[in-house]
Amino acid sequence: MKLVRFGQPGSEKPGLIDSQGKIRDLSAHVDDFTGANLSPATLDKLRAIDPASLPEVPAGTRLGAPVAGTRNFIAIGLNYVDHAKETGQEIPAEPILFNKAPSCICGPNDDIMYPKNSEHMDWEVEIAFVIGSRARYVEEKDALAHIAGYCLCNDVSERSFQVKRAGQWVKGKSAETFGPLGPWLVTPDDIADVQNLALTLDVNGERKQTGNTSTMIFTIAQLLSYISQFMVLEPGDVVTTGTPPGVGSARKPREFLKAGDEVVLRIDGLGEQRAKIVPFKL
């Protein structure tokens, strides 16, 4: 299934994408896609519904992030071999974990806003997974069973905050609109091999990133198992799993986003994000 949340910010309703690519309204069956409604049992009930029986949502309706009420937004650093090399850093022996504030989450096509005093805003196409059942000290062989679905994520980053301001990466990763998710949350049964998906990112029509999840240093199953040794992952939590090479800060010469730029992200089977960069505003 491809699950969505549609409507204006703060008033989104749950829906799904039918075989014709149309949004169908699920609000008569589930109130929202919070963690409580992402359990295997709930997803099985939704899967049994005939999409043709659901009201059709008008084309062009805004899509929000496909999960609501996220409490933990965890990210992985340097998880693609070529990306680690382009930054001049060693291949990590263990996953590098950092936080993105859940308040940075926004819809897949919402404007991305420069934070105040930003100098070096960068892009990162990533695949994220959303927890569907509580994960605590999970073994790798059981890890994927805890995932409700996968979605696109742009791990938008402010490099001067991240690198030059000392302390933790979270400062450069958590500004308002720095966590676009979606357009869809795709359940695992709709993905043949999550470790063989192509990722791309374009800025103003020019290809900047090309990668494949097959080149991850740590697989999604390894990441979930690893994280669960240090914290409990609850339903609705989001983990974004690292980016392939081609980020602006590693290019020669370096490139950064500016107001008016359009950023387009794609991952096989997970859809497309298309966002404009806009100036800071209160």
Look over the chain and give the mean of its residue pLDDT values, rounded to a whole number.
96
Please check the confidence at residue 257 and state whether its pLDDT lies above 80: yes
Query: Quick one: average pLDDT of 218-228?
Result: 98
Which pLDDT belongs to residue 87? 82
Domain holding 274, by residue range, is 65-278
- 30 part of a folded domain: no
- 40 part of a folded domain: no
Q: Give the separation between CA 234 and CA 133, rounded to whole angstroms.
A: 7
Please check the confidence at residue 154 and state whether its pLDDT lies above 90: yes
Closest CA to 143 of 273, 243, 254, 241: 241
Domain containing residue 207: CATH number:
3.90.850.10
pLDDT in tens, 57-70: 999 999 999 999 99
Which pLDDT belongs to residue 122? 98
- 48 part of a folded domain: no
Instruction: Express as a percent the part of the chain with pLDDT over 90.
Output: 92
Q: Give the separation between CA 281 and CA 149, rounded to whole angstroms.
A: 33
For residue 1, the one-letter residue type is M
Which pLDDT belongs to residue 175? 97
Query: Quick one: average pLDDT of 98-126?
Result: 97
Do the strands 2-6 and 185-186 form a parallel or antiparallel pair, or are they unpaired?
Answer: antiparallel
- 56 part of a folded domain: no
Please check the confidence at residue 107 and state whether its pLDDT lies above 80: yes
Q: Which residues contact 88 (CB under 8 A, 6 or more apart)?
A: none
pLDDT in tens, 172-219: 999 999 999 999 999 999 999 999 999 999 999 999 999 999 999 999
- 22 part of a folded domain: no
Coil, strand, or helix at residue 91?
coil
Which pLDDT belongs to residue 201? 98
Which pLDDT belongs to residue 163? 83
Q: What is the 3-state secondary structure (H, E, C) of 145-175?
A: HHEEEEEEEECCEEHHHHHHCCCCHHHHCCC
Which pLDDT belongs to residue 267? 98
Taking a C-beta distance cutoff of 8 angstroms, is the pair 23, 51 a contact?
Answer: no
- 28 part of a folded domain: no
Top pLDDT among 162 and 213 is at 213
Which pLDDT belongs to residue 23? 98
Query: What band does 86 get if pLDDT is binned at 50, 70 and 90?
Result: confident
Which pLDDT belongs to residue 229? 98
Query: What band does 253 get if pLDDT is binned at 50, 70 and 90?
Result: very high
Taking a C-beta distance cutoff of 8 angstroms, is the pair 246, 215 a contact?
Answer: no
Question: pTM above the 0.85 mark?
Answer: yes
Burial 35-51 (b: 16+ CB within 10 A, else e): bebbeeebbeebeebeb
- 25 part of a folded domain: no
Please check the confidence at residue 85 and state whether its pLDDT lies above 90: no
Please check the confidence at residue 26 and state whether its pLDDT lies above 80: yes
- 79 part of a folded domain: yes
Coil, strand, or helix at residue 125?
strand
**Based on the structure, what is the number of domains in the chain?**
1
Please check the confidence at residue 150 and state whether its pLDDT lies above 90: yes
Which pLDDT belongs to residue 83? 86
